Amino acid sequence: MTKPNLLSGMQPSASSLHLGNYLGALTQWVAMQKDYNAYYVIVDLHAITVPQDPKELRENTRRTAAQYLAAGLDPEQSALFVQSHVPAHAQLAWVLNCITGFGEASRMTQFKDKSQKGGADNSSVGLFTYPILQAADILLYQPKSVPVGEDQRQHLELTRDLAMRFNSRFGDTFTIPQAQILKETAKIYDLQVPTAKMSKSAADPKGLINLMDEPAVITKKIKSAVTDTDGEIRFDQANKPGVSNLLGIYSAITGKSVAEIEASLSGQGYGSLKSEVAEAVIATLDPIRVRALELLEDKGELDSLLAKGAKKANEQAEATLALVYDRLGFVRP
């Protein structure tokens, strides 16, 4: 039986992925790769919707690839590739731009948030059409499933709407993809502002655990995580967001249930909780950091893995694009 397709991706916009990327997406990717014909993309075209230093972008693209591999993605099994190596992404994005309403695009909350921060004149048109490029990324690969964190839900809804619209106007072309969002890890929160999602644009770097952080740095960040004053280790998202976030991270990392953790730490202080969380996070992340650094020592090997992934991705993407162009009525060369 042929396996269903899967696609997901991340932006290479920082020198390290963070714990939210890892628990919200990357661990799901690793778990799903055996059962799907999976495509994992590094979305450099998306990264340039906000200013990027070219040297850093090049470095961060390879660092992202190294972290994908170090976390357990298997390049023999799945296609790992860079978005700009597959021209069909930009080509399909143009087609989808032409069936997206201006009002529809204006309702995307991520654009509203990001553009409010920088002001309209500092926001690029690329940032505005970002979700449409994301829809193209997805639809080219005809995936059944798209494993992501909660913050991508609205973009996945737009993707589904555009796929259905195209199919109903031009005939069945795209598979309608399903977002795969795991309840427990859909949103990992900032350690300093535990009501906000963990994000690379955090105001305070202490709020963010990076996959490439040294163990001592991770311990320091977790030890200084914001908690509360009632002193009880109990999951209560509304009233105890800091403690609940630590419990959620601990549970996701170890596979123990929150109830089990609450019981084992009952009567102890936040210091003990933090020590245990730090130890568990380091035990998982440190081998990834070490492996990623090793992989980065051989850029030639890394680039050739990405070239191999791009070859497979291009085959699938070009087939979908050819079908789309045909359906649209373009005369083919």
308 in active site:
no
Instruction: Give the integer Cα–Cα distance in Å for 184 and 193.
Output: 19
Residue at token pair 């919707």: 49
Which amino acid is present at 152?
A: Q
**Shortest approach of ligand TYM to residue 82 CB, angstroms?**
12
Q: Choose which of 86, 88, 95, 148 interacts with ligand TYM (CB under 6 A).
A: 148
Which residue's CB is nearer to ligand TYM, number 83 or number 219?
Answer: 83
Contact 200, 18 (CB under 8 A): yes
Interaction of residue 44 with ligand TYM, rule CB under 6 A? no
Residue closer to ligand TYM (CB basis): 200 or 234: 200
Joined tokens for residue 253: 């990392």
- 248 within 8 A of 220, measured Cβ to Cβ: no
Strands (E), 5-128: 5-10, 37-42, 79-82
- Tell whether residue 143 is a contact of ligand TYM (CB under 6 A): no
**CA–CA gap between residue 44 and residue 139 (Å, rounded):** 18
197 part of the active site:
yes
Contact status: 11 vs ligand TYM (CB under 6 A) = yes
Which of 25, 226, 273, 281 binds ligand TYM (CB under 6 A)? It is 25
- Give dist(CA 40, CA 38) in Å, integer: 7
Q: Give the number of C-alpha atoms closer than 13 A to the C-alpha of residue 112, restricted to the C-beta side.
A: 8
Tokens linked to 327? 């359906």
Residue 138, interface with ligand TYM (CB under 6 A)?
yes
Site pattern 238..267 for ligand TYM (x: CB under 6 A): ------------------------------
Q: Catalytic residue at 3? A: no
Q: Which is nearer to ligand TYM, 227 or 245 (by Cβ)? A: 245
- The answer to whether 136 contacts ligand TYM (rule: CB under 6 A) is no
Q: How far is the CB of 45 from ligand TYM (least distance, A)?
A: 9
Number of Cα atoms under 13 Å in the Cβ half of residue 198: 30
Give the footprint of ligand TYM on residues 54-73 (CB under 6 A). none
Q: Which of 5, 6, 9, 211 binds ligand TYM (CB under 6 A)?
A: 9
Q: Does 145 bind ligand TYM (CB under 6 A)?
A: no
What angle, 0 to 180 degrees and rounded to 10, lies between the N-to-C axes of helices 153-170 and 299-328?
40
User: Which residues are at the interface with ligand TYM (CB under 6 A)?
Assistant: 7-11, 20-21, 24-25, 43, 46, 134, 137-138, 146, 148-149, 151-152, 155, 186-188, 197-199
